[in-house]
Structure formats: structure tokens, C-alpha cells
């Protein structure tokens, strides 16, 4: 239905905007702060991928992180606890992820890790980025 038409949608639900829109404009205080496709906004203002690992408490997190860095060179530990490791990477989607997942599956079979998941930057994060940036510029007395 949207071929050769322009449909204007105003929403705060970023998942809805991501699913329905070819182009997104983010407004703050009546000014356009961003204007691009959903994927470009996530690429420009996003933080890449987050890899979440639930680790068996008897394992050394550093050894697991070293293995991950062999595949995802541009990665850092964002959060580390006794049983969880959250790794931030700016690597683009590629075969490196598939190879890493194969290695993580082997670690899971050997009970070194309990499970893992991967999350990409969402439009909600991009929207929050502009909202928080605007909030920081205000002075409260």
C-alpha cells in the first residue's frame, strides 16, 4: 500500500517505527535531530552487538573472553560477574559470528558456559541516545 505514497506516522514505540518505516525522523524540542533509514540510524548511533554469556561459576572468564576475541577482534568486556559476561563488539555481521557460535556450542556441551545470546542495537537505544543527550543539556535548579 505504501508504494508511490508517503505515510506519516508519529510514535514513541521504536519497534513499531522500525517495522513500518523506510525512513525515520527523530525530533527533540521541535528540532530534527536525526533523519535516515532505521538500519542507518542503528549503524551510526548504535553500539553494535552485545554478546551475553551465562558462565559456569567454576570457569575463568578471561579464558572465555580470549576465545571470543579470536573471532570478534573489536570487542570489550562491558559487564563481568561471577556467572555472567556481557561483551560489546562493533564487528559487523559476518561468518565470524557463525564460527564463534560453533565454539560457544562446544563450550556449552562441556559445561563451561550455560547459555549465550546475541543482541543488536535497537531503535529504542537510538531514541534514548537523543533523549538522554537532550536531557544532559538542560540545567536544573
pTM exceeding the 0.75 threshold for the entire prediction: no
Element (H, E) at 132: helix 123-137
Q: What average pLDDT does this structure show over 43-47?
A: 77
Burial class (CB in 10 A: 0-12, 13-18, 19+), 86: middle
Q: What is the mean pLDDT of the chain?
A: 84
Give the pLDDT confidence of 63-76 residue by residue, as tens digits.
899 999 999 988 88
pLDDT for the residue 133: 58
The model's confidence at residue 90, banded by pLDDT at 50, 70 and 90, is confident
Three cell numbers, residue 19: 517495522
Give the pLDDT confidence of 93-129 residue by residue, as tens digits.
778 999 999 999 999 999 999 999 998 878 887 887 7
Give the domain ranges of the chain.
1-45, 47-120
Which CATH fold topology does 47-120 show?
Alpha-Beta Plaits (3.30.70)
Across 1-141, the runs of DSSP E, i.e. the strands, are 24-28, 31-36, 49-55, 75-80, 84-89, 113-120
Amino acid at each position: 500500500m505504501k508504494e508511490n505514497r508517503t505515510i506519516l506516522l508519529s510514535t514513541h514505540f521504536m519497534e513499531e517505527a522500525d517495522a513500518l518505516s523506510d525512513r525515520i525522523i527523530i525530533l527533540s524540542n521541535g528540532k530534527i535531530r536525526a533523519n535516515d533509514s532505521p538500519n542507518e540510524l542503528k549503524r551510526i548511533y548504535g553500539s553494535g552487538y552485545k554478546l551475553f554469556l551465562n558462565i559456569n561459576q567454576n570457569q575463568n572468564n578471561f579464558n572465555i573472553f580470549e576465545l571470543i576475541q579470536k573471532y570478534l577482534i573489536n570487542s570489550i568486556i562491558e559487564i563481568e560477574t561471577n556467572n555472567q559476561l556481557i561483551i560489546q563488539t562493533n564487528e559487523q555481521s559476518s561468518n565470524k559470528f557463525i564460527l564463534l557460535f560453533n565454539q560457544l556450542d562446544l563450550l556449552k556441551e562441556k559445561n563451561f558456559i550455560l547459555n549465550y545470546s546475541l543482541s543488536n542495537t535497537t531503535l529504542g537505544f537510538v531514541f534514548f541516545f537523543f533523549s538522554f543527550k537532550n536531557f544532559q543539556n538542560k540545567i536544573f535548579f
